[in-house]
Amino acid sequence: MKTLRISDDAHQKLTALLGELTAQTMKMQTYTDAIENLLSQSVSLPPELLAQIEDYVEKNRHLGYATRDEFIRDALRWRLRFQEEYEYIEIPKDEYEQLQQALNDMEAPFANPNLFIKQQIRNLLDKHREWLTQKETYERRRSKKK
């Protein structure tokens, strides 16, 4: 049997993970089981991305993130929750800001670009419904004439 020296902090984390694994599987687990489980559930992220996340968390503590792990879990939950209900489009930030400025300058009845875009979508969908109704009416008349 090989011996591995670990810090007290790592020992506490592994012991906690052992408890969780034992509770989940209802059978005794070893450190080897815990480490294998930990490695199978790990995700590797590039150092630059981790640095961005840590910087974001540090600057936005008011949002409730104490650690990067909390932020990552929340980001994944958010993405998974909304992927089936919504489709996302990307608008370059400078264009979004220009649209905001245009709405302000022209005193448009929209508080922000989001509301403007949603209204444009609603208007087009209303026109599409009207078009479908007209098309259906036309096709019914045409089939009666035959």
Chain CA centroid to CA 82, Å: 7
Q: Are residues 77 and 125 in the same domain?
A: no
- pLDDT for position 22: 81
Q: Are residues 35 and 50 in the same domain?
A: no
User: Which tens digits make up the pLDDT trace of 39-91?
Assistant: 677 777 888 999 999 999 999 888 888 888 889 988 888 888 777 777 778 89
2 is a domain residue? no
- pLDDT for position 1: 59
Q: Are residues 33 and 48 in the same domain?
A: no
Q: Are residues 104 and 139 in the same domain?
A: yes
127 is a domain residue? yes
The pTM (predicted TM-score) of the whole model is: 0.48
Q: Are residues 99 and 139 in the same domain?
A: yes
Maximum CA extent, the chain: 90
Q: How far apart are CA 30 and CA 5, in angstroms?
A: 16
Higher pLDDT, 75 or 35: 75
**Residue ranges making up the domain that contains 67:** 44-86
Q: Are residues 70 and 52 in the same domain?
A: yes
